[in-house]
Structures are given as C-alpha cells and as structure tokens.
A = this chain, B = another copy of it.
Amino acid sequence: MSPTSMSRSTSPRRIVVVGGVAGGMSAAARARRLDESASIVVLEQSAHVSFANCGLPYHLSGEIEQRDALLLHTPESLRAALALDVRTGNRVTAIDREARTVTVATADGEDELAYDALLLAPGAVAVRPPIDGLDHPAVHSLRTVPDLDALAARVADLPADGPRRAVVVGAGFIGLEAVEALVARGLDVELVELANHVLPPLDAELAPFLADELRAHGVGLHLGVSAREVAASDDGGAVVTLSDGTRLPAEVVVVNVGVRPASDLARDAGLELGARGAIRVDADQRTSDPHVWAVGDAVEVTLAVTGDTGPVPLAGPANRQGRRAADAMLGRRTTPQAPVLGTAIVRVLGLTAAVTGASQAALARAGIEHEVVRIHAAHHAGYFPGAQQVHVVASFAPDGRLLGAQAVGREGVDKRIDVLATALRAGMTADDLAELELAYAPPYGAAKDPVNMLGFVAQNVLDGTMPQWHAAELDDVLATRLVLDVRSRTEFDRGHLVGALHVPHTELRGRLDEVRAAADGRPVAVHCASGVRSHIATRVLLQAGLDARNLSGGWISLTATRPDLPLEGATS
C-alpha cells in the first residue's frame, strides 16, 4: 500500500465521482458497501444515471419495448439503497487539485465541491467526422438517452407509406446494431464504412459472412468510402454524398464513426494523459495525482498480446475498473488490472460476431510471429437438429500459445469466444485447448467441441503434421503448384478453381500415380470444403513422399477471402 492510500482507518470523508454510468456507478456502489461513513457524491452532467447504454439500439428496434427498462436506477433509488448523493445535470468544469475541489456547473449556476478522493468516469465522446451538413435534422447519433429519444422520434414520424430510407455511417459495433434496429423498423438501410469491410475490428476474412447477412436483409453496403456531405433534398429529407460520388437519399442518417476519451477535464487539470488522449492510470486506476482515480472509456489500458496502449470503450472492463478504484481508494487489497483482451460481441440480424485477443491485423502490425488456424464446425452435434456452422479463426504463437480468436455464426459463437477469452487470459496453448473438457450432450456441443478441434488443428499445424496454405497465397499457389480438390463430384461441379485436379478423398489412395503425374514435381495444394477431408488427403500425400499442404479453412474460407476467385464449372 502506497503512503498516500487511504486505509480503512483513514477513510476519505468525501468521495466525489464524476460520471454516473458504468464505471462511475460501480465505483460509487462498491465504495458505499465498503464504507458506510463516507459522503459519496455522484455528479452526472446528463439527466440520467446508470442507464443501459448498450441497450439503446434494442429500444430503437422495439425489442426492448419500454424505454424505462433502460433506466436501471434513479437518484432516488440509489439514495434509498446505497445512501448515494446523486446529482444529475451537474457538469464538472474544472478540478483544483491543490485545493481538492471541483467546479460544478448546474442549471442554477456554478458551485465548488470539496473532495478527499476524486474518481473520474467521464466516458467517451462521439468523434465528429469531417462531413458537411451534420446539422441537418435527419442526422442522429446513438450514444445517449437523448440521442435515442430524438432518433426514435424521427423514425416514428416517418409516414408508413412514404419513403423510409436510412443511411448509417460507420459499420462498427454500434453502427451495426443501429442497422439491425432500423431494418427491424422497416427502413431501407444503406451502410457506409471507410474500411474495406464491415466491423473493422474483425479480420477481413470473417466480415463477408456479415456482409452477406446484411445484403440478404436488403441493406446496401458502401465499403471503402466515406460520407462527404449531408444536404437537404427537395422532399424535405436529406441526401448523403459519398466519396465515390454516390448520392443516397435518406429520411434518417445515423453517424457512429467511433469515440474518443472525454479526457479534457483531466488534461486541463494537468493529469497525465497516455496514448490517444486517454487518462493514464496505474494498476489500481490511480492517476498521476494520488487523490484522483479514473476508470472507463476515458482511461488508458494495455492490451494483452500486443502490449498496445490506448482507450478501450467496453462496459465490462469499465465496471471492474470502478470496483477496483473503490477498493484502492479505501485502502483495500485490489485485483490489479490485467491487460485487456478486448473481448467484444455483436448481433447482426441472424448472425453473431465476436472477438477476443489480438486480431491477425493487430499481430501483423505488432510484428508478432503467429500461425493462423481456421475451422468451420457445427455448434452442436451434427446429427442433432439445428446444427449451425461456427466459423472460428485463431492465431497461435510458434510455442503454441493462443494469441487471439474471432468467430462468426448463427449459434454458439458467444460460448466459444468466452471459453477462448478465458483460455487466453490463462495463457493456454493449443495443447490446452485440445484437452479442455467442455460440457457435451447433443443439444449443446460435440464430444470434440469446436474449441477442442481448434486445438487439434493448431497442434497439427505447429508440429508439422499438417502443413497448410492460406487463401491469401492463392495467386502464388495457382502459379506454382498443383491444386488438388478432394471434394465430392457434386461439390466440384458446383464450381472449382481453374486448373484444379479433382480426386475425391475416398479415391486418393488408388489414384496417387495420377496425382504425381499431374503435379509433375510441383508441390500439391490440397483443399476440400472446410479442411477436414483435405487433412486426410494431405497426410496420404505427405506419406507418399509428395510435398503437400492443406488449405486452411478450405473452400469456405477461400471464397470468403477471395470473392473474385478464378472459377470453372460454377453453375450460378
């Protein structure tokens, strides 16, 4: 315990919390449970505390029917249960660290409030992109309750029989949730994203599954372009002009291009900031001032695996940081913050996409050596009705350590990413994943769960049992190797790579001479649909003395990665 910690015996007389949502409210509640004697004041600039900001899109869609369901607590309920002094409409405009006071602006003017311990939980603010005409009345965002109210009112006012068109700018987590909500409300939605694929934190190879799902629900995609201008149209709506010249008429425009830490107050008070303007804190959430703590979207964290630093706007870490800050300011044993995995999930119509740990892109940027493994496995026993494919991509260090995983599918994605997030936190390896003992009965999983399968495949790749090739290497493969397609005749006839030799895996042992002749000294690039049959085939070839590699993730990953495949025989 550092000398400036306040032990239980020297409990701070007044704790002031700036910001009354996730992290701030967790801290206030924990502080009260630990200390009945402290005065705890929560200052919230908006009209609402402890609201469910992650739930806003689901009220817009109508799935959460009652708006009140989003307001988890009120100042009154918090006073009754936890003796908290919660003041909404109270904006902190300055911190006097010397005097240990904050300046508070309210509707009635300005006031000073003394603190013994100060907790900053100011959150993030929406990035305002360089788009002309953002003051058009059709333009909305979706971060706060007033945002939601305004957007919901705009949608409700649309005539049922008139045009109901929306443009959503930004295909991140909230942007996709906004798209889903607007589709549910019967709007025709166009989605604009500057990156080349939807959900930029997802690796490019998984995004096409989401793109297909969006298109299947009538959503128009505009990828790799930005919105330039929102202008009034003749009919009273708006027209959004994109960087490629496309003009999209819309009655509703939703802009969500990301957030930045709301760290102005901290910066103006001279507190140390870190990467990307986030408030720098130690493992106990303490800032550079020993009497000031900070939590949530505004603070700098260290990312696991890459060691990158920066703000991470996620509710889970914010809540735990709040709890930790309360423990620390009351001089208790804390669980120091572990590096953040960045585990996140989003529902996109019928699909779920989720990530944990480092993406392939992040590993590449950080220069971390890794092997990528892909599986497409049924989310529960294939013979049990309703089995759905989970597409999982995971990266492993050469020593077998899991570095990150991402998944997309209709069912069971959340479970596998949660297991992998736990494994990642524990420093587990491919061997460990192979040996995980997960719950199996036919409605829930498989005797070899997709997570076990991921471990098996990674073991085979890492120990050289199964050399693999990747969809990204296709051009080189086509130029220098024999492609051996071991799928069934029916699958082959539906479309296959130009020049591929077709030998079903069940016939391979009897047709090795044919393969050898066709290879003519070249290495053999094997593939099937998902990588399972081609694994057997690759093993047959390797043991027959051929240089063979298996396509990681098979045809499914190949077509997701390369929409422009050089095909023969495709019937559609």
Contacts and interface: CB of A to CB of B under 8 A. Distances in A.
A377 to B, nearest CB: 14
A343 B421 contact: no
Interface residues of A, number: 95
Interface stretch (A146-154, A212-220, A358-366, A424-432): A424-432
Given A33-B536, A81-B506, A316-B447, A419 B417 contact: no
Interface string A156-171: 0000000000000000
Residue among A335, A342, A438, A456 with max Cβ neighbours from chain B (10 Å) = A438
A452 B543 contact: no
A443 interface: yes
A314 B438 CA distance: 11
Given A36-B543, A540-B36, A449 B316 contact: yes
Interface string A510-544: 00000000000000000000000101100110011
Nearest to A58: B442
A161 B551 CA distance: 58
Interface string A440-480: 11111101110010001001000101000000000000000
A507 B428 CA distance: 48
Given A55-B384, A385-B63, A442-B55, A335 B414 contact: no
A54 B345 contact: no
Contact of A443 (B52, B347, B440, B506): B347
Interface string A334-356: 01011011111111000010101
Contact of A438 (B58, B421, B463): B421
A69 B383 contact: yes
A457 to B, nearest CB: 12
A359 to B, nearest CB: 15
Nearest to A532: B81
A316 B449 CA distance: 8
A189 interface: no
A70 interface: yes
A205 interface: no
A418 interface: yes
A356 B437 contact: yes
A415 B379 CA distance: 12
Given A414-B415, A543-B36, A347 B441 contact: yes
Given A316-B449, A449-B316, A418 B438 contact: yes
A509 interface: yes
Interface stretch (A117-125, A128-136, A253-261, A318-326): A318-326
Tell me which of A323, A338, A422, A436 has the highest count of chain B C-beta atoms within 10 A of its own C-beta. Answer: A422
A232 interface: no
Contacts of A316: 437-438, 440, 447-449, 452
A421 B435 contact: no
A275 interface: no
A69 B382 CA distance: 9
Contact of A54 (B82, B426, B447): B447
A385 B62 CA distance: 11
A204 interface: no
A178 B459 CA distance: 38
Given A418-B415, A422-B419, A432-B425, A437 B55 contact: no
Contact of A80 (B55, B315, B423, B506): B506
Contacts of A173: 441
A265 interface: no
A52 B378 CA distance: 15
Copies of this protein in the assembly total: 2
Given A316-B440, A335-B431, A414 B445 contact: yes
A442 B315 CA distance: 11
Interface string A36-51: 1100000000000000
A99 interface: no
A36 B320 CA distance: 53
A87 interface: no
A459 B323 CA distance: 12
Contacts of A383: 52, 55, 64, 69-70, 72
Contacts of A356: 437, 439
A390 B193 CA distance: 38
A172 interface: no
Contacts of A443: 58, 347
Nearest to A83: B509
B536 A58 contact: no
Given A423-B426, A506-B81, A465 B34 contact: yes
A505 interface: yes
> Ordered nearest first, which 8 A-B pairs have the shortest CB separation?
A426-B426, A345-B439, A80-B506, A315-B447, A36-B543, A415-B415, A422-B422, A414-B444
Given A35-B543, A64-B442, A347-B441, 18 more contacts: A33-B536, A36-B544, A54-B381, A63-B385, A65-B385, A314-B440, A316-B438, A316-B449, A320-B435, A340-B437, A345-B445, A414-B444, A415-B415, A418-B418, A418-B438, A421-B437, A421-B439, A422-B426
17 contacts: A33-B465, A33-B539, A36-B543, A36-B544, A52-B442, A82-B536, A83-B509, A315-B440, A320-B434, A320-B435, A337-B435, A342-B437, A344-B441, A346-B441, A356-B437, A421-B439, A422-B422
